[in-house]
Structure 1
């Protein structure tokens, strides 16, 4: 198979890839919305009176692939930007769009999360909670990155990748190593066994590094400035794979052809994971041993088959220009930044209603998404904040004629 030039594929496929990146962030909002409804031992500040195995399964499924998919697309677009703007232009752009939102946004959002947590605890107990005592088991360089950990990790991945790039350019002046690497990558991508090859690093990291609550998949690196090894390995694999893939972007056409196969495999591996771990959250730490390695391998295969299936379906069905999808893609970054305190407050507001959990989460999301989209439309889209997050201000005509709410909602929840 001959890889298409990057510029040719970019003109045809970026709508689909941009949609995947945006939807991956929106899936993260749904993921957090399920957390107050999980059965078993509470893991969230808001503990709803009704629990749901269905929402527990949704939690497990969404965490299986959403961040791997996001970091793969992030690596793809990062290489594209380096090719277009050079390293200096790339660093300047990433400092504006990633570092500034992290440094400026974190204190504001963290304060809002604390306020939502206090409100949630008050709803649960009837009184204002006292500050928790210091955690004696806190990790080194403990820091509450909250859900903004993905920005911090992106900065680390940018630095690691640019460092590797500089080293390769220095040592491989003839380009021979890069040509061989491209050939090896092409062989992997074109093979139906590609998910197996990509699952190896995360399988090893999850199998042998530290204690692991296997039901929760890749441990979220949100409580320390030193990312845990499984998260760093898993997401660097995805980011680096996306970076290298952009050197031969035509290779992803194989995912477009194989999306039914990858989807079937993803469903099968996910079902196998749930049969091994159960649908309800399992807090126990899995000891080292063959059972842990087996689950890590199946989980990693589920991660990559889901990623290939999702990207393949997007390239197959979402590659045409759509004003609604473009609007969602543009707004998704802002929505993800601000969503957590809003979702937490709404979870607390419905916590004691005697309604099914599935109805409550629809209410939470049905209020949260319109509020967040409205904030984007009227406060961000044409402001300096939008220029920072999206790299540009939306043109006036676009801002005066936003997509209709009904199709926007349909696109969001599909």
Structure 2
């Protein structure tokens, strides 16, 4: 037993023993959450394929009432799942900067995020948009012009925004005068002795998020789309940024390590209540400020409660990994990158099948989720791909 001290038999006494570099612990529950959220992204886009929200590369607009169920699923997912991704991403930023330094961190981000964004634009997007071009635009303009005038990064908008948030973190860190740490052999582990803020603080954050989002949506409508940068949901930017910051602070203060067991139950109860409130406010009409505030309160409250509930649930019951889970987590980013292609190909193969929207949704989920993971596994077998994906 070395007690964390490295010594060499041939020079004992010459120099004092040197502490071993701290091992970087794997947070299995975070890896498992990434698996869950990645699968949810795939399911989300399957629901868009067969629902009534035309925001995907290939769609079959629902011709029966079951399409409404898919629309509700899309709305509920949108309420929280990408914000959750930003929170998890933010959680790992401070330790990575401590480990690599600011320049090394950004070089790593450009490799792990910028390169996939470029590859998607150059390789996948032309394939994904070709059916749309052939069906609707081939007689009006050449493909190269269609490619540029219809430009957007697709689902890779997430890495685009994450690059901006990461750069913003570095600028804030420099502006606040936080000293640059020497490059460490491993990222400093997140504090393990922190304490999750209490219910009142969480409610306060939710109220603040509601008010900031309300002010933001006076300028940006919930249906807004930002072309060129390809941001499909700019109305949710306050949530994305807010949860990214929560992740950063949680790392430094050890919040995730200090989640009490009771949080699972009260956040679960809040999720049920606020989920019902979110459902009942979806169809509310009226342009008054009170109506919009009520809708946003339900939206923000559900988002915060379900994020905390899932975090508590996975930490308590899903905080270990077997070989299958490790395979799924290792390939999760590859799934995010490739799933548009696998879903479009599979949906095109099913287009001749006459069935209800919910039935086609179920079948495409059963095909598309494992197909996406299989494609990601093949992608990572390409030499050098594991450095990126």
TM-score by length of 2: 0.77
- Report how far residue 241 of structure 1 moved: 1.1
Mark the CA change 1:129 to 1:275 in structure 2 (over 3 Å): closer, same or farther. farther
What is the correspondence of 1:209-228 to structure 2 with a 5 Å cutoff? 209=216, 210=218, 224=229
Which residue is 1:232 aligned to?
237
| Corresponding residue to 1:75 among 81, 90, 114 | 90
Which residue is 1:105 aligned to?
120
Secondary structure in structure 2 of the residue aligned to 1:52 = helix
Which residue is 1:337 aligned to?
337
Which residue is 1:264 aligned to?
269
RMSD over aligned Cα atoms: 3.4
- CA deviations 1:40-59 (Å, max 9, x no partner) are x7555512444433322322
| Corresponding residue to 2:43 among 22, 30, 33 | 30
Is contact 2:120–2:153 with CA below 8 Å preserved after alignment?
Answer: no
Give the Cα–Cα distance (whole angstroms) in 1 for the partners of residues 300 and 383 of structure 2. Answer: 41
- Report how far residue 202 of structure 1 moved: 3.5
Is contact 2:32–2:325 with CA below 8 Å preserved after alignment?
Answer: yes
Mark the CA change 1:220 to 1:150 in structure 2 (over 3 Å): closer, same or farther. farther
Give the Cα–Cα distance (whole angstroms) in 1 for the partners of residues 262 and 383 of structure 2. Answer: 41
Say which one has the larger Rg.
Answer: 2
Give the Cα–Cα distance (whole angstroms) in 2 for the partners of residues 161 and 203 of structure 1. Answer: 23
Give the Cα–Cα distance (whole angstroms) in 2 for the partners of residues 57 and 226 of structure 1. Answer: 21
Which residue is 1:17 aligned to?
30
Give the Cα–Cα distance (whole angstroms) in 2 for the partners of residues 229 and 190 of structure 1. Answer: 28
- Report how far residue 128 of structure 1 moved: 7.0
Give the Cα–Cα distance (whole angstroms) in 1 for the partners of residues 315 and 233 of structure 2. Answer: 32
Which residue is 1:364 aligned to?
364
Is contact 1:257–1:312 with CA below 8 Å preserved after alignment?
Answer: no
Mark the CA change 1:262 to 1:14 in structure 2 (over 3 Å): closer, same or farther. same
What is the correspondence of 1:44-123 to structure 2 with a 5 Å cutoff? 45-46=58-59, 47-50=61-64, 51-118=66-133, 122=135
Q: Which has the higher contact order (CA 8 A, sep 6+)?
A: 1
Number of residue equivalences:
346
Is contact 2:334–2:377 with CA below 8 Å preserved after alignment?
Answer: no
Give the Cα–Cα distance (whole angstroms) in 2 for the partners of residues 161 and 82 of structure 1. Answer: 10
Mark the CA change 1:131 to 1:213 in structure 2 (over 3 Å): closer, same or farther. farther
What is the correspondence of 1:5-404 to structure 2 with a 5 Å cutoff? 11=25, 14-39=27-52, 42=54, 45-46=58-59, 47-50=61-64, 51-118=66-133, 122=135, 143-169=151-177, 189-209=196-216, 210=218, 224=229, 230-249=235-254, 251-254=256-259, 256-278=261-283, 287=287, 289-351=289-351, 353-381=353-381, 383-389=383-389
Which residue is 2:6 aligned to?
none
Is contact 1:34–1:59 with CA below 8 Å preserved after alignment?
Answer: yes
Unpaired stretches in structure 1, ≥5 consecutive residues: 1-6, 133-140, 172-185, 390-414
Mark the CA change 1:256 to 1:163 in structure 2 (over 3 Å): closer, same or farther. farther
- Report how far residue 320 of structure 1 moved: 1.6
Which residue is 2:13 aligned to?
none
- CA deviations 1:344-399 (Å, max 9, x no partner) are 3433443453323222112212222333222222332463112222xxxxxxxxxx
Unpaired stretches in structure 2, ≥5 consecutive residues: 1-20, 142-148, 180-193
Is contact 2:281–2:298 with CA below 8 Å preserved after alignment?
Answer: no
Is contact 1:16–1:319 with CA below 8 Å preserved after alignment?
Answer: yes
Is contact 2:46–2:343 with CA below 8 Å preserved after alignment?
Answer: yes
More helix by share: 1
- Report how far residue 326 of structure 1 moved: 1.7
Give the Cα–Cα distance (whole angstroms) in 1 for the partners of residues 54 and 244 of structure 2. Answer: 32
